[in-house]
Chain A
Amino acid sequence: MNQDTVLQVRDLATYFELRRGVVKAVDGVSFDLRRGEVLGLVGESGCGKSLTALSIMRLLPKGGARTVRGEVRLGGENILELPASRMRDIRGRRISMILQDPQTSLNPVFTIGEQLREAIFRRAPAKTAEIMKEAVAALRRVEIAAPESRISQYPHQMSGGMKQRVVGAIAMSGEPQVLIADEPTTALDVTIQLQYLKLLKRLQTETGMAILFITHDFGVVARMCDRVAVMYAGRIVECGPVAEVFERPAHPYTRALIASVPKMTGERGRLATIEGQPPSLLDLPPGCRFAPRCNLAEPQCIATYPETADIGPAHTVSCWRSDTR
């Protein structure tokens, strides 16, 4: 394992074992997250981004979800094998997460101060009064105005953007090395989205934590990330530095995703959309999962899954036809 790698995910697979069959929501995901970098994880809705994150956190939803194989190495140890109590110690302190919807992420019956206190207390057990001072500081760090008065408020007294800042403050109050941000701005207004992304970026540079940034928006990737991994139907199909992937996207799916980003400059071109639907995770094709929607597909694509290949500096792709542009 590279000195600089803080989180290493290898062949991670999480299935829903249902009566009508096995839903292979995450099916062999591998990536490295390096110290101080932001790695984007992009893909269409339902491709398994959130489930990848929850598998890493070991917080799978009830109802048949199980991580069936793989490794998640955090600082060298495979956290999938740790006893539940050790995993709990790690959560919040070494690896943490921001959830998608700020409206439901905070407990409606406790004050912001109390919810922050619980998180800060884990890092620095102290008297409530002292922790409250830290809580105010934490709110100030996420640029909440008048934090002293916010401390005693309840979530319903705040706007969505503000709540998401509080969630950020809570998630980061344990000073984790790794932060997973699962579409943290999807539920926010566009103007607020930008502020939040800037804030996250600033905190990331200040603290040096590594972020796994989940989004379905390539525009956000360009703004936020150093590297990007593109996910399709439970697998990562392409991974590389953002500039490289933007300039030389190797997978037809990546190309389609990039083409679907509305251009801010120039005349308004037609928004490219990808024909067809992602495959059912209950009944996956044996070959490349994108093949049914791919206009470059050949018999080989449909028959066997393409191995991951290096095609440039730190740029990998799983596609038989990546040399075809």
Chain B
Amino acid sequence: MGRFIVRRLLHGLVLLFMVATVVFVLGRLTGNPVDLMLPEDATAEDRTRLIKSLGLDGPMHTQFLVFIGNALQGDLGTSIRMRQPAVDLFFSRLPNTLVIIPWAILLAMVVGIPLGVVAALNRGNMLDRGAGTIAVLGIATPNFWLGIVLIFVFSVELGWLPSGRMGGPEHYVLPVITLGTFLTAGFMRLTRSSMLDVLESEFVKLARIKGLSETVVIWKHCLRNAMIPLLTLWGVFVGNLITGAIVTETVFAWPGVGRLTYEAVIYRDFPLLQAVIILKSILILSINLLVDILYAYVDPRIRLS
């Protein structure tokens, strides 16, 4: 298990290095990044100073070494718009995102997974079809549209819930639903289909031959196996959570890293965007490592090979 984690960590570091390289190269491809970084009224003097401070006067490979060297020391540049280190900005916003993502995942787990199991057990009847239709809608509905509709119905028309900004528990409801809907629907569909496969397997038959109760057969023997495909497809879900967070936080004026990303793009804050991409990559890689560990825990064939 220890070796497994170390291998994954090294793997993650290689990926991170690749992301950093791509970000670096993209930054140079679009012309001298300094032009993007400087405000419109900057003087030629400002320009040379910035070029020097970023090490942009040297050849490409030394520039890259400087970039990596700074990054290793935790310096990913300074936001042009807010004139603060990009890393600090990211970490000041991160907690706000981290408070909604787990709720969205939790929503998907407590609603999506049991619903998938129930749908599989009722295969083909009204309940299964109803749940299936809702799930397809949930997958197909774009986040921003869902967010706006929810605001319109529950904030504007009914006035039950706040339409945005951080605050008490009631502020979380709509953003969490907006962010969690795709995940919930995805979990439901996947759980249903893998459950259907598992239900037909011989070991389920043997569990029944032993005389185990249906509850144990379904929720212990079947579900644990049905979770394996869910964990293998985790990458898809993480990707959706990260992009979903950008949209959700923008719609609900939620001051997290998603909104920070949006702002970086809109205001052409290139150093900030660069930092956000790299830091988010680290975040995704850590989540993936966690999921891999969970995966290995659920499936002994991975853990022990």
Contact = CB atoms under 8 A, between A and B. Distances in A.
Interface string B177-200: 000000000000000000000011
B225 A109 contact: yes
B210 A109 contact: no
A99 B211 contact: no
Contacts of B202: 99, 101, 104-105
A170 B199 CA distance: 20
A99 B225 contact: no
A97 interface: yes
A156 interface: yes
Nearest to A111: B300
Interface string B220-242: 01001100100000000000000
Contacts of A105: 202-203, 205-206
B205 A59 contact: yes
Contacts, number: 82
A78 to B, nearest CB: 19
A107 B210 contact: no
Interface residues of A, number: 32
B7 to A, nearest CB: 20
B213 A88 contact: yes
A99 B301 contact: no
B193 to A, nearest CB: 15
A122 B210 contact: yes
A92 B210 contact: yes
B304 A157 contact: yes
Nearest to B203: A107
B211 A104 contact: no
A281 interface: no
Band of interface residues on B: 20 to 34
Contacts of B205: 59, 99, 105
Interface in B56-79: none
B212 A118 contact: yes
A119 interface: yes
Given A108-B203, A108-B225, A109-B299, A59 B209 contact: yes
A274 B150 CA distance: 70
Residue with the highest number of chain A CB atoms closer than 10 Å, among B208, B210, B212: B210
B211 A89 contact: yes
B304 A93 contact: no
A167 B206 CA distance: 8
Contacts of A171: 206, 209-210
B219 to A, nearest CB: 13
A298 B205 CA distance: 44
Contacts of B203: 104-108
Given A59-B205, A109-B298, A170 B225 contact: no
Interface in A16-46: none
A91 interface: yes
Residue with the highest number of chain B CB atoms closer than 10 Å, among A57, A104, A171: A104
A214 to B, nearest CB: 14
A122 B221 contact: no
A154 B304 CA distance: 9
Residue with the highest number of chain A CB atoms closer than 10 Å, among B123, B205, B211, B298: B211
A61 B202 CA distance: 10
A174 interface: yes
B122 to A, nearest CB: 12
B206 to A, nearest CB: 5
Contact of A88 (B206, B211, B298): B211
A91 B300 contact: no
B12 to A, nearest CB: 26
Contacts of B199: 62
B43 interface: no
A59 B208 contact: yes
Contact of A174 (B206, B211, B213, B221): B211
A96 interface: yes
B299 A108 contact: yes
Contacts of B301: 108, 154, 156
Contact of B210 (A110, A118, A154): A118
A144 interface: no
Interface string B282-297: 0000000000000000
A90 interface: yes
B30 interface: no
B201 interface: yes
A92 B211 contact: yes
20 contacts: A57-B209, A62-B200, A91-B208, A92-B209, A92-B210, A96-B210, A104-B202, A105-B203, A107-B203, A107-B224, A107-B225, A108-B299, A109-B225, A109-B228, A109-B300, A122-B212, A154-B300, A156-B304, A171-B210, A174-B211
4 A-B pairs with least C-beta separation? A92-B211, A91-B211, A104-B202, A154-B300
